[in-house]
Structure 1
Amino acid sequence: MRKFLALAAALAFCTSAALAQTYSVRAYGAVADGRTVTTAAIQKAVDACTKAGGGTVEVPAGTYVIGTVFLKSNVTLHLDNGAVLKGSPNLTDYHPYTLPEYGQNYYGMLFTENAENVTITGQGTVDGNNPVFYDFTQAKTLDSVTTRYTRQKNNYRHVASGIGDGPVVPKDRPRQMVVFSDCKHVMVSDVSLINSPFWTMHFADCTGVNVTGIRLYSGILVPNADGVDFTDCSNVAVSNCDIQAGDDALVVSGYNHHFEIAGFHNLRRISENIVITNCNLQSASSGIRIGYLDQNTVRNVTVSNCNITNSTRGINISLRDEGSLENLTFDNIRIETKLRTGDWWGNGEPIHISAIRGNADKSVKMGRIKNVRFSNITCRGENGILLYGTAESPLENVEFHNLTFDFVDSPLNVVAGGNVDLRGNLDPRFGLFARDIPGLLAEHVNGLAIHDFKLNWVGVKAPYLSNGLEVNHFTNLRISNFQGTGAPTNPKAVSVALADGTGVGLDVPKGQVTRKNVK
């Protein structure tokens, strides 16, 4: 009996060892000289690993130039300290695909489709080599049609010389640098992801995703270089990450109605059960974006213990189509935002929530943004907090608890200040447009609660600044312990200005509130 048990244990150990086998890419011919394209050799190692039932594909120290490598089920891609997978500068080294609307495109460096139990880990680096895919001497600017309703007109975000805040001009380039499509049980941990020429890492139709400890630097001047995007994903955890991205740092959203790309199946799943914690985020657009155009429902998102700094928008919750954005919770977050020059989205708002139609098909019913809670939020920004619902899609049940906001002066007020950015909607008059700016502006909100809000005007000089809080078109408004005034630059500004609403509960000193058509 003892011999039988010993034999069984030995067989189990051998089986486990076989499944956990390591496949060095060097053994399959990979060359780490930083020049030779070694895609085929690394693909051979991946294929051998998955064929044997799984294991680890090891990338030793050195620089390996690759086009598109396809990862497979039960494969751990381990990048040793000092290992660099560097994107080839030649588009022909990437796997091509064709879309009727956009012509030929190319996958990025690592593509995984319809797989499970896939991991990318280690102290190494995936480098998308974006300097070869952009002209860093030119800035992408807004056209006069886009800026015609702004305060500055053709001078909006103007730069006298140089490229200012970018964004730089793209050339032909591969698409998402790392993609997981229709995958289960995926982990990306500890690696560095840098210099992406497009979105850095995209999870589409995935469930059971863990992203932890990554360092992601796509380049703060690079457009479309999002950090991590989750479209139609569920059961996701993001933790302990440092992300600096030219476009949105973290995105949770859905597909548009006509989204087609090889490997992305547009199953129109709900994005749900997303946890984001302990992250440092920077972005020339939004630190965190939830929703936007042509949207599936996103629900049950919790964000906590994060720093959002050096960003054009802090937290951006936007709806332009069907589906809903609901049950969103944000706690213990520091946000710092600023105005920027160039063709970036956002205009310095620490918090932006908007629901305005972007789908021209009137048979499609607008969704809702509802059940959003912010607590223990500290902001420093060069534009006001914006809550902008519409009569067609009012915001529902938005709460603030323990919010501090330092509204600070900006060196870009003359070329960028005094405007609201609601682009993505159908009416260009409400895309980029001039407006006086309060500390917090709320339009079309049902069930807005603001408790323990401290607003500080810090060194502000702009004449277009207005009230402390301004709430229009509302029902069931509750404000308690608001500490703030109207802008010191505007003698007509008041602490709280209310218009066109019903159901008000205020704990604000008398004489600091104006009401118009309020019941």
Structure 2
Amino acid sequence: MKNNDSVSRRQWFERMAVPAITLAGAGLIGMPAAATAAPHSNAPHEDMSAGNALYNVKDFGAKGDGQTLDTAAIQAAIDACTKEQGGTVVIPAGEFICGTIELKSGVTLHVATNSRLLGSKKREDYTAGKGVPSGNGNIVFIYAANAENISIEGYGTIDGNGLSFYNGKGDNTGPNQRGVGGNFDRPHLIVFYQCTRFQVKDILLTNSAYHCFRILKCKHVQLHNIRIYNRVNKNNDGFHFNDTQYVHITNCDVQCQDDACALFGSNQFVTVTNCSFSTRWSIFRFGGGEAQNITISNCLIYDTYGCPIKISSGRAKIENLSFSNIIMRNVTGPIGIGFTGSSNQNNNNNNTTDTTPSFVRNISFSNIRASVVEKPVNHPDIHFGVNVFDGELNSCITLNGVGKVYLENISLSDIHVVYAGGGTKEQAGKREVPELSAEYFGVWGTAPFGPPAYGLYARNVKGLSLHNVRFTYEKPDARPAIILDNVQDATINGLSAQGSTAGELLRFVNTKDVLLTATRVLSPAAVFLQVEGAASENIKVDGGDISKAVKPLALVSGAVKKAVTLRV
């Protein structure tokens, strides 16, 4: 090389390594501090281009010895990084104890393999995130607010030390609690508020004192190959979104205690794929706002109770949701859709300025295989017991509209659910079912417990489609496989279901404009179809095998013969 272009071997290595490390995250693992910054210097190498510099937190005074509080040193590295137009802040191998840390624009936080960023056990080491609203608490371990172009990456661990904050109390935001006396004074693991263009990948997030990862009013979010293990405290959510747009979640593994992927408010343009989930309460939890244009596919759900897919809407505009290629193993209440607020009863009888009607519509479920257990059981790795609500027993798929507010255009295609069975004749005779509840299982909370159907209970639905649906049980169940109550415009094609010698396979109550084709009764049933109510009309059964039903049709409670055309 000519003299004016010559560089030392070390300088050449550093120039070549920086972009490779920044892009791939390789080479940082276990790298000594001297390789990323000059000894005893708080500045990046002078020959690095803006945005590519490395900032090793040990060069800013962090010890990583599992004893020293390293908050100030890590924050100093982040501040220096963002001041110099961004770069990568490196948490090398070691155990770095710290309190509240603020990420800033242009910063990539790289947590190297064999590195653990460990939350302090002391409450005084945490603060509220600057600019982060206080809803559900805003005490936080790591946060960013009004920032852009942020990343958290690496195969290390961010550990909230959340067991240190366990006092037996949750936040009391569950059914009918409204947060009264709740425990909010504990840190969330990560909160991003009003941030744009950020990515989190490859990291292990664990042991939060509260929610694991809150993403609030953000745009353009990429979450890849993240593992969440969050089961040491109450309200241990996984991902928790509010009013966020353009979100893509792939290849994540979430085991938590509360909602695994809560989507509250106006979340839009969201995809979730190739992920696995397990929790006590719920996986995909929707509530309020304008949840629209969301697809969830290729996911595994196991050992999950409190309804894996739960759309519990107050005043909301929910539409265009797709759930496909999902395996559920050992769950209760596999799918639940309903309303939670009395304002929905007459569309706009509330005190808000928004007087437009609420709606839940255009929701599809396809290629789902599920096994439903009789009741929830405690997870062995959650150290506190979890109450079981009466309405969680002998659960089923629930589609529950309210009064004049119908669920619209709901489709279930290629669905096979194996239920535990064991439902009683007393449950099957249950006719008075509340419309509103703070949770799906609250609808069934009055004796006799559980829903009156073992497979699907649908009420106040317009536009219901069932195609290639199969409902079976492991032990005899006295309840109908399907109940349609005030359902209009339904198509049921290729239904296969086990019946009961104690009652009907299908029960239609004040339901009209229904076409059933290619139905198969899989085990003996006393009645194939029981139609109830004078409002029932235009029900056609065309083809199928109902030979295992003793009686093809029963008309009760004012239903008339001309309401049904039976051709099998």
TM-score, L = length of structure 2: 0.72
Contact kept? 1:319, 1:369, Cα under 8 Å: no
For the residues of structure 2 that align with 1:514 and 1:112, how far apart are their CA atoms?
A: 58
Separation (CA, whole Å) in 1 of partners of 2:138 and 2:365:
40
User: Comparing both chains, which one has the higher relative contact order based on Cα–Cα distances under 8 Å and sequence gaps of 6 or more?
Assistant: 1
CA shift in 2, pair 1:410/1:88, >3 Å:
farther
The answer to whether the 8 A contact 1:218-1:225 is kept is yes
Question: Residue 341 of structure 1 corresponds to which residue in structure 2?
Answer: none
Amino acid at match of 1:353: I
> Is 2:113 aligned against 1:81?
yes
Residue aligning to 2:240: 229
Confirm or deny that 1:301 pairs with 2:279.
no
Mark the runs of 5 or more structure 2 residues left unpaired by the alignment: 7-14, 20-45, 374-394, 424-429, 522-526, 538-568
Counterpart of 2:32 in structure 1 is none
Alignment of 1:43 with 2:75, yes or no, is: yes
Instruction: Tell me how far apart the structure 2 counterparts of residues 140 and 363 of structure 1 sit (CA, whole Å).
Output: 30
CA displacement at 1:421 relative to structure 2: 11
Q: Which residue is equivalent to 1:355?
A: 339
Identify the residue that residue 364 of structure 2 maps to in structure 1. 373
Paired AA for residue 182 in structure 1: Q
Residue 442 (structure 1) aligned to one of 458, 463, 472:
458
Q: 90, 97, 100: which one pairs with 1:68?
A: 100
d(CA) in 1 for partners of 2:436 and 2:97? 41
1:470 corresponding residue in structure 2:
483
Displacement of 1:369 after TM fit? 0.9
8 A Cα contact 2:485 2:510, kept in partner: yes
Root mean square deviation of aligned Cα? 3.5
Correspondence for 1:401: 413
1:269-308 correspondence to structure 2 within 5 Å:
270-290=266-286, 292=287, 295-308=288-301
How far has the Cα of 1:272 moved from its partner? 0.9
242 and 466 in structure 1: CA distance in 2 versus 1, 3 angstrom threshold: same
**1:217 lines up with 2:229 in the alignment:** yes
Deviations 1:237-263 (A, max 9, x none): 000000001001111121xxxxxxxxx
**8 Å CA contact retained: 2:194, 2:216:** yes
The CA deviation string for residues 300-342 of structure 1, in whole angstroms up to 9 with x for no partner, is: 100000001110144434243223111000110001344xxxx
**Could you tell me which of 480, 496, 505 is aligned with 2:515?**
505
SS of corresponding position for 1:48 = helix
Shift of 1:64: 1.0
Equivalent pair of 1:320/1:359 in contact (CA under 8 Å): no
Deviations 1:123-169 (A, max 9, x none): 0111111111114xx69899xx989xxxxxxxxxxxxxxxxxxxxx9
Where does residue 474 of structure 2 map in the other structure?
458
Letter paired with 2:276: N
The structural deviation recorded for 1:396 is 0.5
Structure 1's unaligned 5+ residue stretches are: 148-168, 255-269, 339-347, 412-417
2:91 and 2:257 mapped to 1: Cα distance? Answer: 28
Distance in 2, Cα, partners of 1:384 & 1:182: 38
Mean CA deviation greater in 115-124 or 315-324: 315-324
Report how far residue 43 of structure 1 moved.
Answer: 0.4
Give the aligned partner of residue 438 of structure 2.
424
Is 2:301 aligned against 1:318?
Answer: no
Cα distance per residue 1:430-477 (max 9 Å; x no partner): 48333434211111111010010111111357xxx5110111011101
Shift, 1:32, TM fit: 1.1
Give the distance between the partners of 2:191 and 2:90, measured in 1 at CA.
19
The alpha carbon displacement at 1:492 in A equals 3.1
Q: Greater CA deviation, 72-81 or 14-23?
A: 14-23
Kept after mapping to 1: 8 A contact 2:95/2:116: yes
The whole-number CA distance in structure 1 between the counterparts of 2:296 and 2:248 is 10
TM-score by length of 1: 0.78
**Are 1:423 and 1:432, in contact at CA under 8 Å, matched by a contact in 2?**
no
Contact kept in structure 2, 1:66 and 1:85, CA below 8 Å: yes
Residue type of the partner of 1:458?
A: E
Distance in 1, matches of 2:72 and 2:220, equals 29
Indicate the larger mover: 173-182 or 236-245: 173-182
Tell me if structure 1 keeps the 8 A contact 2:237–2:258: yes
**Structure 1 CA distance for aligned equivalents of residues 435 and 171 of structure 2:** 16
Larger Rg belongs to: 2
The letter of the residue matching 1:479 is I
Q: Percent identity?
A: 28
Q: Is 1:34 the equivalent of 2:46?
A: no
- 2:118–2:158 contact (8 Å) kept in structure 1: yes
Aligned AA (1:450): L
* Amino acid aligned to 1:283: T
Aligned-partner SS, 2:495: strand
Change (3 A) 1:97 1:79: closer
Conserved? CA contact 2:236–2:256, under 8 Å: yes
> Which amino acid in 1 is paired with 2:267?
S
Once residues 137 and 123 of structure 2 are traced to their aligned partners in structure 1, the CA distance between those partners, rounded to angstroms, is 9
Partner-residue secondary structure (3-state), 1:109: strand
Aligned residues of 2:396 and 2:453 also touching (Cα < 8 A): yes
Q: CA offsets per residue over residues 157-184 of structure 1, 9 Å max, x none?
A: xxxxxxxxxxxx9966423210111111
Superposed CA deviations along residues 370-416 of structure 1, whole A, max 9, x for unmatched, are 000111000111321111111142110000110000001589xxxxx
SS in 1 for 2:315: coil
Q: Is the 8 A contact 2:222 2:249 kept in 1?
A: yes
Distance 1:125 1:177, change over 3 A: same
Question: How far apart are 1:478 and its partner, in Å?
Answer: 0.8
1:125 aligns with 2:157: yes
* Matching residue within 53, 72, 75 for 1:21: 53
